[in-house]
Amino acid sequence: MTTKAVTISILGKTYKVNCPKEKQLELRDAVAELERRISETQQRSMLHGIEGVLIMTALNMSHELLEQQALLELLDEQTQPIAKKA
């Protein structure tokens, strides 16, 4: 898997990150989603400093990830008995 340095921009700051060539589109999608969520947090919250906005955005995204993981575990538990019967 060949990696390449990709330039991304978050909150007006430019970063170079190494990314596999076949994952660059996903990286750009992730950057766009992060920017969207940061903007959404800024608009919804009473936070004034960017650090607080970033922390709240990260906390919200972490919470959503944990919810999705719990849901996947529940679905896996529910489908295991069905798979064993087949």
Tell me the mean pLDDT in the region 2-9. 95
Structural domain of residue 67, as residue ranges?
3-85
Pairing state between β 13-20 and 3-10: antiparallel
Number of C-beta neighbours around residue 11 at 10 A: 11
Residue 47, token pair as written in the block: 């936070």
Model confidence pTM above 0.95: no
pLDDT digits (tens, 9 = 90+) for 44-83: 998 889 999 999 999 999 999 999 999 999 998 888 877 6
**In CATH, what number is assigned to the domain containing residue 55?**
3.30.160.880
Q: Quote the number of domains for the chain.
A: 1
Burial of 23 (0-12, 13-18, 19+ CB in 10 A): middle
DSSP element (H, E) containing 18: strand 13-20
DSSP-based three-state secondary structure for 57:
helix
* Best CA proximity match to 42, nearest among 54, 30, 58: 54
